Structure 1
Amino acid sequence: MTQPIEQIVRRKLSDEVFDRLERMITVKELQPGDEMPSERVLMERFGVGRPAIREAMQSLANKGLVSISHGERAKVLQLTAKSIFRQVDLTAKIMLSQSSDSLEHLKSARIFFERGMAREAAQRASVADIADLKAIIQRQRNSLGDAERFISTDMEFHTRIAQISGNPIFVAVSEAMLAWLKEYHTEMLIWTGKENFTLVEHEEIVHRLEANDVDGSETAILKHLERSRALYGK
């Protein structure tokens, strides 16, 4: 039986350089905050030309591994959950703009996620956490009539609940989903009195969290998000 042909594809030099630079970061030869070696040093180390080094370095920057500033040496970045999500912001927004199904899936994912965050927060919320949430609601009340500020404090409220978990990945997920949904929060820019419902519902959520009412907190946030779900439209 004839064996299938397995073609060997020659890789670009810049891809090979990228792999080696990535490995230097992965094995901690280069730490967050360190400057990358100069182009000349890398050219000598890998035996390649300047174009391959520059292309590989740009690929590292595109993946959020290094920052490149004009006139300065590239620096290794500290990777966080937040920085990782920022790398996909543009592609996520394009995906949502191209498919109404994707937007609906994101709405559902957000509700599922925030129900869990509410239950977690109800078990862990401190006096300081509750005070912060109440202060956010007051700032939101003070921003009535200012669409941008009202939506900003709304996002802050929900992210602050995620922060109670103490898990930075939860916080990053919350911020990312809210940022993506904000692109389609069109109805909130046409005031119809719905902002007052938001304030009342936020107060009810905080009341349940303060009472360490796990089921009540989940129910309150579910009611709030199901009502506001229709505000996110294309």
Structure 2
Amino acid sequence: MLSLPLRTPAKRLGVAVVEALVDLIVSGEFEPGDTLPPELPLSRQFGVSRTVLRESVKRLEEKGLVTVSQGRGTVIQPTRSWNMLDRVVLESLIAHDRSLGVLDELTVVRAQLESAMARETATMRSRSELDALRDALEEMRTSLADTPRFQAADVTFHETVMALSRNRLAESIARSLFERARESSRYSIDVPAAIHEQTLREHEQIFDAIAAGSGDEAASSMLSHIVDAWTRRRPADHRGTKSAR
């Protein structure tokens, strides 16, 4: 029988069961087309009631990881059916991706979205809104030697550009992607102070383009910055095939 992690009953037990099952599926413990073990032994293995397990499986179905059908049971779905923007799914994908290909893809999508928002911000920002962006940039300048403060100002700059674009859907998706990336230890690595200086220069280019009302230049600068920033911090020895299918 498949060895599953036991869980101690707690207030958010259902959440823990969902996260454990997502992890098993994303890690490849179950292949697309496989079925989960029957409800009774699975609930015993997790140490939860069948009601809790049944609700947890419903959450998996909502995330696109499984389908539940009469006669076949709970069947694992191919990755094209998964909700990749779901927090639990995306966190597990990143955690199990040996090649860092998921973070590569995440960076490309985020860069495209923020590039489009930078274009919109450049064409519609007001003087007072530009002052807010200038304040974030100035905070970056004065905190080059203070990594936590510099990184916080960096995030504020990006969030300000996104908010000023007034594109709420793009902002929500990009913000979620950025948050999941920053939660990964393989993305949020320590970088030399010299890298901060390069990052600052790239933000200055973005700001100058927005201040000048140049949508094309703002979009291009934002796209290049996000892709280049990940390239600088990406570990060079992570190569190979993605573990998540």
TM-score, length of structure 2 as denominator length: 0.56
> How far is the alpha carbon of 1:166 from its aligned partner?
1.6
Secondary structure, aligned partner of 1:193: helix
C-alpha distance in 1 between matches for 2:168 and 2:188: 29
C-alpha distance in 2 between matches for 1:135 and 1:56: 50
C-alpha distance in 1 between matches for 2:58 and 2:140: 40
**CA distances 1:170-196 after superposition (whole Å, capped 9, x unpaired):** 322232121112123344x13240101
C-alpha distance in 2 between matches for 1:95 and 1:55: 22
2:89 maps to 91
C-alpha distance in 2 between matches for 1:165 and 1:172: 12
C-alpha distance in 1 between matches for 2:108 and 2:166: 23
Opposite residue 176 of structure 1, the aligned amino acid is S
C-alpha distance in 2 between matches for 1:227 and 1:58: 40
> How far is the alpha carbon of 1:143 from its aligned partner?
2.2
1:185 aligns with 2:183: no
1:212 maps to 213
Write the mapping of 1:1-234 to structure 2, written as runs, cut at 5 A: 88-99=86-97, 100-182=100-182, 183=184, 184-187=186-189, 189-233=190-234
C-alpha distance in 2 between matches for 1:135 and 1:224: 19
> Is the contact between residue 115 and residue 221 of structure 1 (CA under 8 Å) also seen in structure 2?
yes
> Is the contact between residue 136 and residue 157 of structure 1 (CA under 8 Å) also seen in structure 2?
yes
Q: Percent identity?
A: 20
Between 123-132 and 221-230, the greater mean CA deviation after superposition: 221-230
- Kindly name which structure, 1 or 2, has the bigger radius of gyration based on alpha carbons: 1
C-alpha distance in 2 between matches for 1:198 and 1:128: 24
> Is the contact between residue 186 and residue 231 of structure 1 (CA under 8 Å) also seen in structure 2?
no
Secondary structure, aligned partner of 1:230: helix
Opposite residue 210 of structure 1, the aligned amino acid is A
> Is the contact between residue 186 and residue 233 of structure 1 (CA under 8 Å) also seen in structure 2?
no
> How far is the alpha carbon of 1:225 from its aligned partner?
2.1
> Is the contact between residue 155 and residue 178 of structure 1 (CA under 8 Å) also seen in structure 2?
no
Opposite residue 230 of structure 1, the aligned amino acid is T
Per the alignment, do residues 140 and 192 of structure 1 end up closer, same or farther by CA in structure 2, a change over 3 Å counting? closer
Per the alignment, do residues 59 and 88 of structure 1 end up closer, same or farther by CA in structure 2, a change over 3 Å counting? same
Per the alignment, do residues 90 and 148 of structure 1 end up closer, same or farther by CA in structure 2, a change over 3 Å counting? farther
Per the alignment, do residues 138 and 147 of structure 1 end up closer, same or farther by CA in structure 2, a change over 3 Å counting? same
> Is the contact between residue 123 and residue 212 of structure 1 (CA under 8 Å) also seen in structure 2?
yes
> Is the contact between residue 119 and residue 214 of structure 1 (CA under 8 Å) also seen in structure 2?
yes
Higher helix share: 1
> How far is the alpha carbon of 1:218 from its aligned partner?
1.5
The number of residue pairs the alignment matches comes to 162
Question: Unmatched 5+ residue regions in structure 1?
Answer: 1-50, 63-84
TM-score, length of structure 1 as denominator length: 0.59
**CA distances 1:76-127 after superposition (whole Å, capped 9, x unpaired):** xxxxxxxxx9x93333122112122211110111111121111111111111
Per the alignment, do residues 128 and 174 of structure 1 end up closer, same or farther by CA in structure 2, a change over 3 Å counting? farther
C-alpha distance in 2 between matches for 1:54 and 1:90: 18
C-alpha distance in 2 between matches for 1:179 and 1:133: 20
Q: Which has the higher contact order (CA 8 A, sep 6+)?
A: 2
C-alpha distance in 2 between matches for 1:60 and 1:132: 44
Per the alignment, do residues 148 and 185 of structure 1 end up closer, same or farther by CA in structure 2, a change over 3 Å counting? farther
> How far is the alpha carbon of 1:157 from its aligned partner?
0.9
